[in-house]
Structures are given as C-alpha cells and as structure tokens.
Amino acid sequence: MDERVARQLLEKNRQDYNKIVEKFSNTRKFSWREFEDFLQYVNEGDTVLDAGCGNGRLIELLSKKNIEYTGIDYSNKLIDVARKQHPGHNFTVGDITTLPFSNNKFNVIFCIATLHHIPGQKLRQQTIQGISRILKKNGYLIMTNWNLWQKMWWPMLIQNALQKITGQSQLDWQDILKPWKNEQGEIITKRYIHSFRPGELKKLLNKNGLIILQQYYTKKGLPANWLTGYNLVTIARKA
C-alpha cells in the first residue's frame, strides 16, 4: 500500500472513532470472556500498556492486580471517555505507530482489537517494532484481532479483491472497509480493517524479536476455528 494512502486511512479511522464515540463506547462497557485468560501473564507490580485502549474497559480486568497502568489511543474523544469513566488512571492521546515511551518500559502490552486498524505493511511493521522496543525482555504482548475469515465477511473481501484487480481499490489484499450503521440502518462511516492470517502475524512478530507462545481463535470466550471464531488471539514474549 502506498504510504500516503496508509496515512490517510489511519487518520480516517481516528476521525471515524471520534464520530461514533458514544455508541461505540456503549457497546464496549465490559471485557470479553477470553480476557480472563490473559490475567495469568500479569503480575503484581507490573507496568502495563493498553495500546489502543479505547474507553479503558480493560481496567475492569486489570484492577484485580496491583499494577501501573497506562492507556493510549489515537482517538482523543475515546480518551476523554476513558478519563471520565476511570479517573485516577493514566491515559494519553497518541499514535501507536510511533509509541512515545522509553525503551524496555513495560512488562506487559495489551493490543486488543487494534492492530487490524493499522493500514499497510510498513505501518504495521513500525507498530510492532515500537512495541518490541518498549517491552522489557521476557515481557508479554497480548493481542487480539478480529477474524474476518468468517463467511459473513467473504463478500467484502471478494469485493475488494475484484476492485484491486480492476484498479479501483487502493487497499491491500485482505483489507475491507467495514460499515458502521446507526439505529436506522444508515451507514455512518466505514472503518478500515485488515484480515490477518496466523502465519502473517507470526512472521511479523518474529521479525521484531517476539516469539509466539500461543495463537488461537475464540468465539465468546470458547475455543473456535478460523471459520467460526470471532477473534484471533496471539500471546507472544520478547526474546
């Protein structure tokens, strides 16, 4: 993907989330069932980064441990919601493709439903390189990405593929623009999402010194496969 197009899509996603902030936040009040499995990687006293924190809902889970929490998100309006709902916690507006933190700062980094919004291989490489830089040795990256290989998303993937073949799409293969609709069914905006394959993520993480410990699909907290799972979960450790 052309870097100019990638930057435009990145900014578009920021504006999109600012546009839908209220309804989006209302649908993200509670942590998903599979989040409970992530607690085993968090120890008392850890420094934890929530990269792409949204409205800060992960705090509900992490409050079970005595940790030093930092949340970062590109959407200033989501950060406003997070600060209002979770006073006393550290939230900052920022771009996870250029993480503004010192080297080897965090024991654990969460990246929940965020990396799939980063357009283009170059920006995704930059993001994971930055995550690896600020993660301590033997620290954990805990990541989920939406699984768009379910049958319901095939029409969008096929549509983009056909548009690329005919020169009508500047997106990459495996990309879609997912509609967000209001209560009346009207499309408010279309968010950029990349459809990851497990091998693609493994290659990206390994290139940046992150070794995958577990990778699996889940559906409402239960094990699933690539055709039925809602999320692709990736647990990695910095070598």
User: Quick one: pLDDT at residue 33?
Assistant: 73
Query: Which tokens go with 40?
Result: 């085993």
User: Quick one: pLDDT at residue 182?
Assistant: 86
Contact 145, 127 (CB under 8 A): no
Name residue 71's beta-bridge partners. Answer: 50, 91
User: Quick one: pLDDT at residue 152?
Assistant: 92
Q: What is the DSSP string of 45-65?
A: T-EEEEET-TT-TTHHHHTTS
Asked if pLDDT for residue 221 goes beyond 70, the answer is yes
- Round to whole Å and give the CA distance between 203 and 47: 26
User: Quick one: pLDDT at residue 29?
Assistant: 62
Asked if pLDDT for residue 31 goes beyond 70, the answer is no
What's the predicted TM-score (pTM) here? 0.95
